[in-house]
Structure 1
Amino acid sequence: PLGASGTRLVLTVLLELGRRGKKYGLATACIGGGQGIAIIVEAFNK
């Protein structure tokens, strides 16, 4: 759905961090016109 791309990217990164046992993940997306965004996610255990 339109507008859910960021949520999907972040949730996919979080799921993969848990599955792979890693601490940091990176999600990126292009916006168009030469622009883009990125987020670094840190997983921490309770």
Structure 2
Amino acid sequence: IECVELNEAFAAQSLPVMKDLNLLDVADDKVNLRGGAIALGHPLGCSGTRITTTLLNNMENHDVTLGLATMCIGLGQGIATVLERV
């Protein structure tokens, strides 16, 4: 995975997620390259679209093949989507 877009609904949530995914050391180069929801906004009801679109744009701009989008979907659930750019 060369590019990751994490849904950080809360600032304190991002660090444990990046730690669990072994991304802390490469966060500046791979994770939320445009700032994520805290910087770009958390559009209620369409954050999944915002995350996926941002990831696709980052993948194209940085010429990477594999990207990961993560989203919370309420009630303690979550989803992760791996995208391949061909």
Pick the TM interval, shorter chain: 0.7 to 0.9
Residue of structure 2 in register with 1:6 after alignment: 48
Alignment RMSD: 1.3
Residue of structure 2 in register with 1:43 after alignment: 85
Q: Distance in 1 between matches of 2:76 and 2:66?
A: 26
- Paired residue total: 44
Identity of aligned residues (%): 50
- Where structure 1 has 5 or more consecutive residues not aligned to the other structure, the ranges are none
Q: Distance in 1 between matches of 2:50 and 2:72?
A: 14
TM-score, normalization by structure 2: 0.46
Q: Distance in 2 between matches of 1:31 and 1:6?
A: 9
Structure whose residues are more often helix by fraction: 2
Structure whose residues are more often strand by fraction: 1
- Where structure 2 has 5 or more consecutive residues not aligned to the other structure, the ranges are 1-42
